Amino acid sequence: MPEVRLNVVTGDWVIIATERAKRPEDFSHKKEKKEVPQYVETCPFCPGNENQTPDETFRINDGHGNWMVRSVPNKFSALSPGGEIIKSKIDFKQYISGVGLHEVIIETPEHNKTTALLPPSHIEKVLFAYKDRQLAFYNDERVEHVIIFKNHGAGAGTSLEHPHSQIVGTPVFPGQVMMRLGEAIRNYYYVNFGECLYCAYLHGEIKDRERIVCENDSFVAFVPYAALSPFHLWIFPKTHNACFALVNEKEISDLAFILKDVLLRLYIGLENPDFNYAVRSLSPRGADSKYFHWYIAIVPRVTQAAGFELGTGMFINTAMPEKSAEFLRNIDTQS
Amino acid sequence: MPEVRLNVVTGDWVIIATERAKRPEDFSHKKEKKEVPQYVETCPFCPGNENQTPDETFRINDGHGNWMVRSVPNKFSALSPGGEIIKSKIDFKQYISGVGLHEVIIETPEHNKTTALLPPSHIEKVLFAYKDRQLAFYNDERVEHVIIFKNHGAGAGTSLEHPHSQIVGTPVFPGQVMMRLGEAIRNYYYVNFGECLYCAYLHGEIKDRERIVCENDSFVAFVPYAALSPFHLWIFPKTHNACFALVNEKEISDLAFILKDVLLRLYIGLENPDFNYAVRSLSPRGADSKYFHWYIAIVPRVTQAAGFELGTGMFINTAMPEKSAEFLRNIDTQS
């Protein structure tokens, strides 16, 4: 019998279609193995081509004059960095000028060093870039919301192979995030007696243990009870905090370890799958800090949303979350 | 300057990224043209293989003993048709047994007759099947919500080439639909002084005209002002009605014409793109009939959602809705 599970954090029902369930290893892409070179002459993100990107906004050097991580405005920005906010409403046509910020964070000079293969000490630098840019974006008063995300592989919507993340600051607060915040506030007061919904949920997942993939002092990585798709993963900070950019140095270090660990498990277990991740966070300005809890959502693109998802917003997950978690937990990342 | 537009019906903001905009014809798939045969011996939906599907629940014959349209339970059902609703909540783990209905509507005996190429008189039969099955599904008291949808092409999540739609009855009311209904009720009372939000919005689109693709007595097909993606289309009935299955014969006939017209424009203009469509509707039981308005949403899969969409629920549309509509309006469907 399939189960329809509720995600208490998002309010979404998910069909866990156990009758159609596949074994975890069936989701492996088994792509043709392609040797990716360390350097590509025509890649705008490879060293030597720095003049092909707009002017750098952030960089971390290695101490020998070479950059390790850099951030640059996106050449094909979705939003315009210059200009003023103009709001207009004529009948039903309501819009705001597309003013906003959009940068690309180039994670490493090496073209073939996907995040799963970078040492944690290097991933820390990437996370410092996330933090710096998120704070800088929120300092722009035209920016209402900032999202940090990564698209890995053609199936996840990127055409650029060189490891990179993106950060976008929008002049509007997304409706979906607003809805999540509303749920979180309601739960804070009416369900959890003054406890953050995410904290309460995390305590439940930690108590259950069976969906946890790995854990360290500051973070827990798990397949949520109502995961939307096979190997859908959440990384939650154990300390309540609504804004990613407020993490301290110890947390950055712990996050680098757990992010690498999780991505390496996917890399080995599913043979370098295409994936997206997003850092869900509110602003450091702090008004909503009691209710919301920042986290990272990782979605390997091993199945496809179709008409059912389009028409209902619900998902059909063809893998048991407990089995997905067990599979990832048992990957040997040391050999 | 890009525009960030609000969809007043869904409450979603969409970035219309005009700086990155492509010409409408750039979205054409330009797939390798493959001759699809009229009959495939191994196809479970082709005539002669009726015994490969579970027992038929609905059929329309041609008057010579041959079926034109048939509906059968999905062999790989996402939900279990037998069994009782069991609800459980232990800590944060809330679920309901995966009881529900899931059928496949085989639209034509001819393997290669995609909906765009069927005559309207045949599409009427498909729509009668939709209507019959939707009513039958809602007659099952375990069913809370029914969604009808179509996945066309591998990029839209189907592996079966033979033209078919699907209908699913879920034992839960989807959170996203609940949110939409909430918005619609709020607007009905507080914004529109007793007018359905969808009716008010449709009147606006009709007055503007520039995003309308085609129209007949009962329906309007248009690219919404805040379209989520290039060629995202809505077909709205002009008469207020919350439930698809309550359409009358004239409306079925008009819907068959406009659906064929729209799908043929996509077929010609974008060279048979992969697409999904969904019939968004509430139950005929009618409690919410004043607020909600059924409609069809069509999404050609010409671009890909990625980390930005995952993290915010917002979309970036790289085509101007007005230009998408103009392109489709100008397709010659007669030659």
Contact criterion met (CB < 8 Å) for A77 and B19 = yes
B61-102 confidence digits (pLDDT tens) = 999 989 999 999 999 899 999 999 999 999 899 999 999 999
| ipTM of the complex as predicted | 0.93
- State what percent of residues in chain A have pLDDT above 90: 84
SS (H, E, C) chain A: CCEEEECCCCCCEEEECHHHCCCHHHHCCCCCCCCCCCCCCCCCCCCCCHHHCCCCCEEEECCCCCEEEEEEECCCCCCECCCCCCEEEECCEEEEECECEEEEEECCCCCCCCHHHCCHHHHHHHHHHHHHHHHHHHCCCCCCEEEEEEEECHHHCCCCCCCEEEEEEECCCCHHHHHHHHHHHHHHHHHCCCCCHHHHHHHHHHHHCCCEEEECCCEEEECCCCCCCCCCEEEEECCCCCCHHHCCHHHHHHHHHHHHHHHHHHHHHCCCCCEEEEEECCCCCCCCCCCCCCEEEEEECCCCCCHHHHHHCCEEECCCHHHHHHHHHCCCCCC
Contact criterion met (CB < 8 Å) for B149 and A200 = no
Cβ contacts of A297 on chain B, cutoff 8 Å: 310-311
pLDDT at B159: 81
The answer to whether A47 and A66 are in contact (CB under 8 A) is: yes
B116-167 confidence digits (pLDDT tens) = 999 999 999 999 999 999 999 999 999 999 999 999 999 999 989 999 999 9
More confident of the two residues A22 and B8: B8
Q: Is residue B92 part of a domain?
A: no
pLDDT at A261: 98
Q: Is residue A264 part of a domain?
A: yes
Q: Residue B189 corresponds to which amino acid? A: Y
User: Distance between CA atoms of A101 and A82, rounded to whole angstroms?
Assistant: 9
Contact criterion met (CB < 8 Å) for A170 and B78 = no
Contact criterion met (CB < 8 Å) for B98 and A6 = no
Shortest Cα–Cα distance, A264 to chain B (Å): 19
3-state secondary structure of B290: coil
Catalytic positions of B, please?
Answer: 164
- Residue in A76, A280, A306 nearest the CB of B20: A76
* CA-wise closest residue to A270 among A228, A317, A230, A221: A230
Q: In this structure, what CATH number is given to the domain that contains residue A317? A: 3.30.428.10
- Residue in B12, B76, B147 nearest the CB of A308: B147
Cβ contacts of A168 on chain B, cutoff 8 Å: 308
Q: How many domains are there within chain B? A: 1
* CA-wise closest residue to B145 among B185, B83, B101, B80: B101
Q: Which residue of B has its CA nearest to A149?
A: B307
pLDDT at A31: 62
pLDDT at B27: 81
The answer to whether B99 and B141 are in contact (CB under 8 A) is: no
Contact criterion met (CB < 8 Å) for A78 and B15 = yes
- State what percent of residues in chain B have pLDDT above 70: 97
A27-81 confidence digits (pLDDT tens) = 876 666 678 999 999 999 999 999 999 999 999 999 998 999 999 999 989 999 9
- Residue in A78, A95, A313 nearest the CB of B5: A95
Q: What is the average per-residue pLDDT within B259-269?
A: 97
Shortest Cα–Cα distance, B156 to chain A (Å): 6
A102-117 confidence digits (pLDDT tens) = 999 999 999 999 999 9
pLDDT at A196 over 90: yes
Shortest Cα–Cα distance, A171 to chain B (Å): 8
- Structure-token pair, residue A317: 């997950």
Mean pLDDT score of chain B: 93
Contact criterion met (CB < 8 Å) for B308 and A166 = yes
Residue A22 CB-density burial (10 A; 0-12 exposed, 13-18 middle, 19+ buried): middle
- Which residues, in sequence order, are bridge partners of residue B15? B4, B316
- Residue in A98, A156, A304 nearest the CB of B4: A98
Cβ contacts of A15 on chain B, cutoff 8 Å: 78-79, 98, 170
Q: Which domain holds residue A16?
A: 3-24+54-82+94-329
Confidence band, pLDDT 50/70/90 cuts, at residue B32: low
Q: Which residue of A has its CA nearest to B281?
A: A311
Q: Is residue B91 part of a domain?
A: no
The answer to whether A115 and A123 are in contact (CB under 8 A) is: yes
Q: Is residue B90 part of a domain?
A: no
Q: Is A49 left (phi over 0), alpha (psi -120 to 50) or beta?
A: alpha
User: Distance between CA atoms of A231 and A332, rounded to whole angstroms?
Assistant: 17
Q: Is residue A29 part of a domain?
A: no
- Which residues, in sequence order, are bridge partners of residue A266? none
pLDDT at A311: 94
Cβ contacts of A78 on chain B, cutoff 8 Å: 2, 15, 17, 19-20, 308, 316
Residue B44 CB: number of other CB atoms within 10 A? 16
Contact criterion met (CB < 8 Å) for B314 and A176 = yes
Q: Which residue of B has its CA nearest to A173?
A: B13
- Residue in A1, A2, A225 nearest the CB of B92: A225
Shortest Cα–Cα distance, A153 to chain B (Å): 11
Q: Which residue of B has its CA nearest to A8?
A: B92
B293-328 confidence digits (pLDDT tens) = 999 999 999 988 899 999 999 999 999 999 999 999
Tell me if the pTM is above 0.80: yes
CB pairs under 8 A between A and B: 237
Q: Is residue A39 part of a domain?
A: no
Catalytic positions of A, please?
Answer: 164
Q: Is residue A168 part of a domain?
A: yes
Q: Is residue B89 part of a domain?
A: no
- Please tell me the total number of residues recorded for chain A in this structure: 335
